[in-house]
Amino acid sequence: MHGTKKVKDCFIPANWKMDALAHFYTISQGSSSFMDYAARLQEARNALSSGGTGFTISDSVFKNHLLFFSHPILALHMHSILSFDYAETRVDGLIALMSSTWDSMVAECVIRSPLLTTLLNIPKPTKAFVPLTERECNALKQAGGCYHCRKTPVSSGWVKHGTHDCPGDEANGVAPAPARPVAAVFGEDEDNSELDGDFITAVMPSCILGNGSFSEGEEEADGWNC
């Protein structure tokens, strides 16, 4: 017995009971599923089972924690069940009832499934930009297509647009075209009075072909740039 105590003193922290008790009371359902929450709570309870007086978790304490630290909407649903006799319900019965209530809420879209929430939050990959070749530029120009999303009027889901206002192609990971400055000429205020000769200018980006050469003086085809 003395040897067993020495082994425990070497490998088990002296304050493990307090740590395990604190861990139990920090557990809540949060955004996890109910069964995951119940399993974590039961595991923490089991860890305290050998803690002795003052550290073991009774059924009533476990039930209270299971119910009141569950998802707020689930807890409200449990409160609204008129036939629910909380005092007489055993731990396993409470877990089964709350689990079926949770599954029903997810199926009826009262609450979103944690797995679905995780999937929806995954950012969609953006397709890496690959410069067009001069031949591809000419082909898109002749077809009246867009140099940004590289679609043409015969492409599926085509909506008439130019490179500067391209809506992108979400299916292929192409983001919408970024806003670019628009040239402004002599401005007038709301009273149509001239602004004392002041004017605003903006520099438009030059057109660069796929081979890196500038197409100076070349007119755009239907408002699209390469």
CA–CA gap between residue 94 and residue 63 (Å, rounded): 8
- Do the Cβ atoms of 211 and 134 come closer than 8 Å? yes
Q: Please indicate, yes or no, whether residues 104 and 17 belong to a single structural domain of this protein.
A: yes
Last-in-domain residue among 87, 120, 153: 120
How much is the pTM?
0.48
Structurally, the chain folds into a number of domains equal to 2
Number of other CB atoms surrounding residue 19 within 10 Å: 11
Owner of token pair 């004017």: 199
Average pLDDT over the chain reads 75
Question: What was the pLDDT predicted at 98?
Answer: 95
Q: Which domain holds residue 177?
A: 128-226
Tens digits of residue pLDDT in 13-30? 668 899 999 999 999 999
Q: What backbone phi and psi angles, to 5 degrees, belong to 9?
A: -65, -30
- Do the Cβ atoms of 210 and 137 come closer than 8 Å? yes
70 vs 109: which has the higher pLDDT: 70
Tens digits of residue pLDDT in 130-180? 777 888 888 888 888 888 888 888 887 788 888 888 888 877 778 888 776
Last-in-domain residue among 120, 150, 184: 120
Q: Please indicate, yes or no, whether residues 20 and 107 belong to a single structural domain of this protein.
A: yes
Q: Please indicate, yes or no, whether residues 71 and 171 belong to a single structural domain of this protein.
A: no
For the chain, the helix, strand and coil percentages under 3-state DSSP, each to the nearest 5: 40, 5, 55
Least confident of 51-55, 64-68, 200-204, 213-217: 213-217
Q: Please indicate, yes or no, whether residues 54 and 98 belong to a single structural domain of this protein.
A: yes
